[in-house]
Amino acid sequence: MAVITIVGAGVMGSALTFPAADNGNEVRLVGTHLDEEIIQSCRSQQFHPRLRRPLHPAVKAFSHTEIAQAMQGADIIGLGVNSRGVHWAAQAIGPHLQPGQIIIMVTKGMESVDGKLQILPDVLHDHLPPSIRDQVKYAAIGGPSIAGELAARHQTSVVFVSRDADILPRLRAAFSTNYYHIWTSTDIIGVEVCVALKNPYALAVGLAAGVLERKGADIAGAKMHNYAAAVFAQGLAETAILVQKLGGGLETVFSLPGAGDLYVTTQGGRNSRMGRLLGLGMSYSDAVEEMPGETIEGVDAVISIMPAVEAMITRGEIPADSLPLLRELYRIVTRNAPVEFDFNSFFNKLPFNPPESLQSS
């Protein structure tokens, strides 16, 4: 049995407590300063209001003011804050970390740091106190996992990843259940780039629903699946370009963390809803008003990533025309631009050589 402390009482961090507790571990759930109402509900009723179900009865809830107590004696620290909260989390957990503890990140995203893209486990490392940052181990979770489904104990398959292969069997043993299936990998760059990019590209796929509504009903009921499929495929191709450029493995893109996670993220949630609103013709500034209080990770990711992408283009590390979908998303969300994809710009810079019969003329 392990002692597992999850920091961040949002839906994904909280959902992870289910397999952790089902495995017989001692599980502690710590809210951030934004989670006080959730923690109060968990304490008084053992009910999570955002997951809309009772927590596992063995899970103990803690306020952010009790983080020192919640982390005391923990073997594994799960980080379930959103991408904006990583710097806060480093400050919050840093003083209480002990050598040998494992941090496993549920948080998804990347940051532009000095003109280069940095994955969030490395961002966390660099913002922890120097005295402890190299005394703990780092891991992350990638792959298709909708929080509500995991909390319902529906079949879920994910990848646990770390540069330190020795800790992966321990993590797998702590969390694996008959419904939570875990594969392991040391390709932390590949996994983290995939899971960071799935949100903006899922938003892009969501545009199709709004574009269809704006056009109005077709006489024969035709949908926009062709539109959505082309955007999905281009998003996957652009993900592969950046994964390879940053040193990750191409095979990761076409497995659970890449294709799998992108697929599941297109099936609903905040990014898809934002995509629909933009596809309807709303400016981003107006669409945000329709989703008050919600963090749109796809938008945050585009805004965080693009400065480094532009710097990479300036340095000649990637061609200027290799990421047309990502650059168009940036234009849409930062300039309130209308949705006008040039589909002929897609698939011209694939991360591999296609068969000659598929090459554009």
Residue 113 pLDDT: 93
Least confident window among 29-43, 114-128, 345-359: 345-359
pLDDT class of 269 with cuts at 50, 70, 90: confident
Q: Chain centroid to CA 7: how far?
A: 16
CATH topology of domain 197-351: N-(1-d-carboxylethyl)-l-norvaline Dehydrogenase; domain 2 (1.10.1040)
- Name residue 47's beta-bridge partners: 54
Q: What is the pLDDT of residues 115-142, one digit of tens each?
A: 999 999 999 999 999 999 999 999 999 9
55-59: Cβ within 8 A, 24+ apart: 55/14, 55/17, 55/29, 56/17, 56/18, 56/21, 56/22, 56/27, 58/21, 58/26, 58/27, 59/17, 59/21, 59/27, 59/28, 59/29
Domain with CATH 1.10.1040.10 in the chain: 197-351
Fold of 3-186: Rossmann fold (3.40.50)
Contacts of 233 (CB under 8 A, 6+ apart): 346, 347
* Catalytic site positions: 198
pLDDT-derived band at 356 (thresholds 50, 70, 90) equals low
Which pLDDT score, from 0 to 100, does residue 354 have? 53
Report pLDDT digits (tens) over 41-69. Answer: 999 999 999 999 999 999 999 999 999 99
| Cα dihedral value 345, 346, 347, 349, nearest 10 | 50
> 3 vs 295, which has greater pLDDT?
3
Asked if the model's pLDDT at residue 77 lies above 50, the reply is yes
Span(s) in the chain for CATH 3.40.50.720? 3-186
**Dihedral sign computed on CA atoms, order 136, 100, 142, 82:** negative
Enter the pTM of the model.
0.92
User: What is residue 361's predicted lDDT score, i.e. its pLDDT?
Assistant: 39
